């Protein structure tokens, strides 16, 4: 599932980084923390790798 906004794509990237152990889970806040808890690494990867060019800043 691709991200629907730049903010969502950024949060997915942060959650993916924590899933992979590159960043600490305790540093996650808000949407990225929820994504970390609720989504698999594969789903996060799909969302984080969405091209940002045509995405709105925030989901509308």
pLDDT at 54: 87
The pLDDT, as a whole number, for residue 29 is 96
- The predicted-structure confidence for 9-50, as pLDDT tens digits, reads as follows 999 999 999 999 999 999 999 999 999 999 999 999 999 999
Query: Higher-confidence residue: 8 or 60?
Result: 8
- pLDDT at residue 60 in the model: 67
Determine the pLDDT at residue 40: 96
Q: Where are the domains of the chain?
A: 6-48
Rounded Cα–Cα distance for residues 25 and 4 (Å)? 24
């Amino acid at each position: 599932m691709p991200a629907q906004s730049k903010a969502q794509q950024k949060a997915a990237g942060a959650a993916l980084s924590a899933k992979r152990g590159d960043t600490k889970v305790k540093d996650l806040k808000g949407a990225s923390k929820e994504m970390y808890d609720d989504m698999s690494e594969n789903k996060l990867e799909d969302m984080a790798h969405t091209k940002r060019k045509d995405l709105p800043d925030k989901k509308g």
